[in-house]
Structure formats: C-alpha cells, structure tokens
Amino acid sequence: MGGISPQEYLERWPLNLPLEERGESEWGCPGEFATAVKDFAEDHGIKVIEIDFDHPQEYGLLAYRAYLACEGARREEILFDCFNHQNPRTNIQTGIPGLWLPFNTEDCLAFARGFLEGKKFERIYLTLLPSFARSPDTATLESWREHLSSHGEVELLGINSRAFPPDTLAPFRFVGQMRGLRKKYRLSRPLELELSSLEELLWQ
C-alpha cells in the first residue's frame, strides 16, 4: 500500500532481518481464518458470500455502488472518506454515497482521479487521515483540492487546511461535522440494500 514500492522501502529503511514475501497483514484475510468461518457457517446452516478482491480500493468501489443501488441515494454528491476517518452511519442516514480511500497517499489520489474522470458532482466532501510522519508518498492537500475541484465543489470535513497533515484535532472535528451532516440531511428512511441486490452487484 502507498506510493512507495517494496524495493524502494527497503532501500530507504534497510532491515537487518531475513526477508519473506507474504500477504499484507493489515488488509488481507489469513486462509486459516477464512476456512474456519466457512466451516462454522456450514455447521450452523449460515449462507456465506465470499467477496474477494486484489486491492482494498475495490471494496470501496463496491460499497459506493451499493449506496447508489439504494432508494434515496444522493447521486449528485459524494463523500471521499479515508482509512479510519469514515462513518457509514452518516452515509446511510443522509443518502450521501461514500467512496473509501485506504490512505492519503499519491496512489490513492490517482485512484480518486481515475474514478472522477468524466464525472461531475454538485458537492464533493473530502476527509483525509492526518499524519505526523510526513511520508514521501503523502499527497498534499493542495493536490487533492486541485484535482477534485474540477469535478464539483469541494468541502473539507475535519481538516484544518493550515494544519494538515499534522492536524491533531482533525478526528474531533470530523466527528462533529459528521453529526452535522446527519442532522442537516437525515432521510425519513435510511438507505437499505437487500442481500439479493448485493449479489447482483457482485455478479456485475
């Protein structure tokens, strides 16, 4: 994950340890765990739908399409949330579809740009994960605004543009502004997706 290749990472931060290539621990699902879930479900008569993608961004795209498949979705708006700066309850209660970004890095900005190509929105909400590490692959807030603003009016959520990325109070502002969105745009009936509709999206 991120805009730094494994080789470049090892050159920048060499480790005097034996190297082993394996699944990324934060985003993957260990085979043993998946097998245990399937065995448990079979023993208890529970239907399992396995959703298997090669990259976390694909799950974000599926969730976005699921929001759009619901009656009451505000198709003219979009909320780009990031890593643990997400609140699906807000999307469900307001109808604002969310597209989740794994990080605030250059590769995620490229993903967002590719998604937005040929699309226009009335409003684009954006929240990014604050960082104190200043990683070389962190995309600047200015670059996010520049690329997103040509596709709609950009509104920052939780972000202080003068403090980002080392923005200590961003998580607290984010919570309050999510609450404000729910109060302002609350639907009379929250978004709801039938399991059969999710299966149709997967087949597509």
Give a yes or no: residue 19 inside a domain: no
Helical residues (DSSP H) of 69-169, grouped into ranges? 88-94, 106-116, 141-149
Residue 191 lies in a domain: no
Q: Looking at the predicted structure, is the pLDDT value of residue 37 above 90?
A: yes
Number of folded domains in the chain?
1
Residue 63 lies in a domain: yes
Which of 17-21, 74-78, 83-87, 197-201 is predicted with the least confidence, judged by mean pLDDT?
A: 17-21
Distance CA 144, CA 128 (A): 10
Percent of the chain with pLDDT over 90: 74
CATH of the domain at 121: 3.40.50
User: What pTM, to 2 d.p., does this model score?
Assistant: 0.90
Q: Which domain covers residue 145, as residue numbers?
A: 56-185
Residue 30 lies in a domain: no
The answer as to whether 47 is a domain residue is no
60: enclosing H helix or E strand: helix 56-68
Mean pLDDT in residue range 162-181: 94
Q: Is the Cβ–Cβ distance between 71 and 109 less than 8 Å?
A: no
